[in-house]
Amino acid sequence: MAGVSQLNQFPCKTFTATPPRHHSKTSLPVASIGVPSRLGDGPRLSTRESNRARLVFRVRAVTDDDEWGPEKEEPYGEGSAVAVAEEEEEEEKKVEPAEIARLKKALVDSFYGTDRGLRASSETRAEIVELITQLEAQNPNPAPTEALTLLNGKWILAYTSFSGLFPLLSRGTLPLVKVEEISQTIDSENLTVQNSVLFSGPLATTSISTNAKFEIRSPKRVQIKFEEGIIGTPQLTDSIEVPENVEILGQKIDLAPFKGLITSVQDTASSVVKTISSQPPLKIPISNSNAQSWLLTTYLDEELRISRGDAGSVFVLIKEGSSLLPS
């Protein structure tokens, strides 16, 4: 740092302050206090007041090679620094629609051949988890329970890691019955949710549903209390198809020799189904106080919803009518 002796080398002019003359009524020499020579119509200083005047000089010499450099006005204060930090944080959270669209397509493509997660390999599950994590970071609605209009409607289950559903999805359990659809319908006005599984068989389709009420507990979380189960009325299929063979416990059984018998059974079953179809659905009240669960929505937009259950499971649902659903 430059020494004090170095400052003496800077050329400076010598300023001489001449004390005012003692006159009873005179003004202080304006040049000696560094103010303009014309003071307008303001009052003049008396001799006593002039004696109280103090001459203050401020001298600063700056050269191009000054070690401290010229004084610079700081562009940001403490408050500005906080504002900049918040702005950068908001920039990091900025949602990129193109990136979201790419991630959604990649996620839906990764579901192919997994049978809603039942047949997903460990590598595929890892890929799905990574894509879900990236989408959650880009969530355009971080407070889903405050966007109830988006939650409204019927959502189709596309993927889950909930092992409790796997026995239901496995065709080995009911060889002639297939799970056509698993859905969740939300009514935000009445705060109700209905979970439904649609089954299809050689003769008819039917559904099993649960009705529940939900309460909003946080910007992302809802508490669900189940009230009743519903066994839907079987609906006769338009065309009855008899499979060539059926797999039971890993063994394929050829149904060709039994085709005549099956046809006769079908005719009888069709008559029974038609009779049952005229009956109302069977409702079973759920009085168990422990029949409750919670659901955390971690991603939500107009066509895709990602939720996590209280068992740590993940559910990916697609809004009915969305182009993301397989055709």
What is the domain-level CATH number for residue 228?
2.40.128.280
In a domain, 82, yes or no: no
d(CA 236, CA 274): 7
Instruction: Using the predicted structure, report yes or no on whether residue 120 has a pLDDT greater than 80.
Output: yes
208-222 as b/e: b if 16+ CB within 10 A: bbbbbebeeeeebbb
In a domain, 40, yes or no: no
C-alpha count within 13 angstroms, C-beta hemisphere, residue 173 = 9
Instruction: Of 192, 225, 221, give the one whose Cα is nearest residue 300.
Output: 221
Count CB atoms within 10 A of the CB of residue 302: 12
In a domain, 260, yes or no: yes
The whole domain housing 177 covers 139-319
Taking residues 79-84, what's their average pLDDT?
55
Confidence of residue 275 (pLDDT cuts 50, 70, 90): low
d(CA 301, CA 221): 16
Check residue 90 and give its pLDDT. Answer: 57
In a domain, 283, yes or no: yes
Residue labelled with tokens 């005179």: 26
Confidence of residue 219 (pLDDT cuts 50, 70, 90): very high
In a domain, 183, yes or no: yes
In a domain, 51, yes or no: no
Q: Give the count of domains, the chain.
A: 1
Which residues are registered as beta bridge partners of 229?
A: 210, 284
At residue 313's C-alpha, the angle toward residues 307 and 316, to 5°, is: 40
Check residue 267 and give its pLDDT. Answer: 65
In a domain, 190, yes or no: yes
Chain center to CA of 200: 35
Check residue 36 and give its pLDDT. Answer: 42
Instruction: Using the predicted structure, report yes or no on whether residue 105 has a pLDDT greater than 80.
Output: yes
Helix and strand totals (H; E) in the chain: 8, 12
Taking residues 184-190, what's their average pLDDT?
94
Condensed to tens digits (0 to 9), the pLDDT of residues 134-162 reads: 999 999 999 999 999 999 999 999 999 99
In a domain, 325, yes or no: no
Strands, E, within the chain: which ranges?
153-160, 178-187, 192-200, 204-216, 221-231, 235-236, 245-248, 251-254, 282-285, 292-300, 304-309, 314-319
Q: Which residues contact 167 (CB under 8 A, 6 or more apart)?
A: 173
